[in-house]
Structure 1
Amino acid sequence: MRPRDFASGDGSLAAADPCFEGSVHSGWFCAYSGEVYQGDALRWYACGKRSMPWGGYGSWINDQTPGTRATSYNGSGGVPYVTDAPYSYSRSYYWTPVWNIRNC
């Protein structure tokens, strides 16, 4: 459970989520275990390749610096998806084939 920002109108956004701070290109890539930015969140600022712990449908926001894309990798190292450059997002994304993400 995490605090919600009820000032946003419906309480659906987490309080202090860097991907929703209002400044475009905040430098963050955020992944969520649930659709429409709900559930557990992974928030990455520093460049790196990290494990994706979830399966099923979730969501993501790429609010990194201009031109920076996040790359998804499957179990055999293939690339099933590369995000668009910032500001980009997916309200519903299928995490099951994603084993790792490199956010830069």
Structure 2
Amino acid sequence: MYVVVQHTFLNPSDAFSRGEKLIKNEEAPHGTTGLQFYPARDGSGATCLWESNSVADVQSYVDDTLGDSSRNLCYEVDAANAFARQPLGIAERPTLVTQ
């Protein structure tokens, strides 16, 4: 299953420092892998996409790793109604239309 995590950083510098472990999938529960990381430009939070066997695995891993530096809302993606553009990634940028 896919799991989204919405982080609200209470201490951004600590969250980013501790979050290196998440980015590297260090000590992640079996079957749990971070796929994408979208930080807010102002450092106030981030949204991440994970693949995992359960929401609880992601929630406990993220909460334990980030501790009091972040509040983390985790939920299962409704895969039947979700979509993504190809190719998915930060390199894909919308074409700006100027008049």
User: TM-score, normalising length from structure 1?
Assistant: 0.28
Larger relative CO (CA 8 A, sep 6+): 1 or 2? 2
Structure number having the greater helix percentage: 2
